[in-house]
A and B are shown apart, each in its own frame.
Chain A
Amino acid sequence: QQQVKQSPQSLIVQKGGISIINCAYENTAFDYFPWYQQFPGKGPALLIAIRPDVSEKKEGRFTISFNKSAKQFSLHIMDSQPGDSATYFCAAILSGGYQKVTFGTGTKLQVIP
């Protein structure tokens, strides 16, 4: 079963525009929500993460918005650049004795000049 639903599957944005990727989760026990960025031929790498007691976290051009009541969170990439072209995965984590990470299905972002 898919516990973290991610959309859209693919996204094309013009340079300078805003890229928005959305995720929704089901399990209210998740307590950490990271986003991973993956370039072709490479493994995913942590981009930014948020805890559910925070509604927004910003790091440079990347912002996570978190809506606990709706069980949704999103990644916003401001001033999107061609170098941002990658696949983005949201994830949700149950912490504790073992960090079980549930990933979304991924969004392939293409930023065109």
Chain B
Amino acid sequence: NAGVTQTPKFQVLKTGQSMTLQCAQDMNHNSMYWYRQDPGMGLRLIYYSASEGTTDKGEVPNGYNVSRLNKREFSLRLESAAPSQTSVYFCASSHHRGPNTGELFFGEGSRLTVL
């Protein structure tokens, strides 16, 4: 039972390069999320997808785009990477509703460095 799988785990980019972080979940969850984690800042929501076919901006969406490819997959794209986007990125998923309200299931993170 894989849960939430993120790829790649590590990536180094040069300023201006583009890349896509991939995320897939096998728990049949409706909702998926992308967070970034920075020291002293906690987890900040970049984008979320409440259900297949919908996406919406979170707290820090600038410089990112997302695609909810199907119910399982939710990708995050950096079109023109900047050093300020150096961070650890986490994908998460959750039941839209239900007895486990509030439980997010996280992947292991993707560590991105932009030089």
The residues of A with any CB-CB pair to B shorter than 8 Å are 6, 9, 32, 34, 36, 41-46, 49, 89, 91, 93, 95, 97-101, 103-106
Contacts and interface: CB of A to CB of B under 8 A. Distances in A.
B102 A43 contact: no
Given A6-B42, A9-B40, A44-B43, A99 B102 contact: yes
Contacts of A95: 101-102
A97 B45 CA distance: 17
Contacts of A100: 45, 48
B47 to A, nearest CB: 12
A34 B103 contact: yes
Contact of B102 (A32, A42, A45, A104): A32
A99 B92 CA distance: 12
Contacts, number: 61
A43 B90 contact: yes
Nearest to A49: B102
A99 B45 contact: no
B103 A106 contact: no
Interface of B: 4, 31, 33, 40-45, 48, 50, 90, 92, 94, 96, 101-104, 106-109
Contacts of B102: 32, 34, 46, 49, 91, 93, 95, 99, 101
A89 B37 CA distance: 12
Contacts of A103: 42-44
Nearest to B90: A43
B106 A98 contact: no
B42 A105 contact: yes
A89 B102 CA distance: 13
B42 A99 contact: no
Contacts of A36: 104
Contact of B109 (A6, A43, A101): A43
Contacts of B41: 105
A101 B31 contact: no
A99 B108 contact: no
Given A43-B4, A43-B108, A45-B106, A98 B48 contact: yes
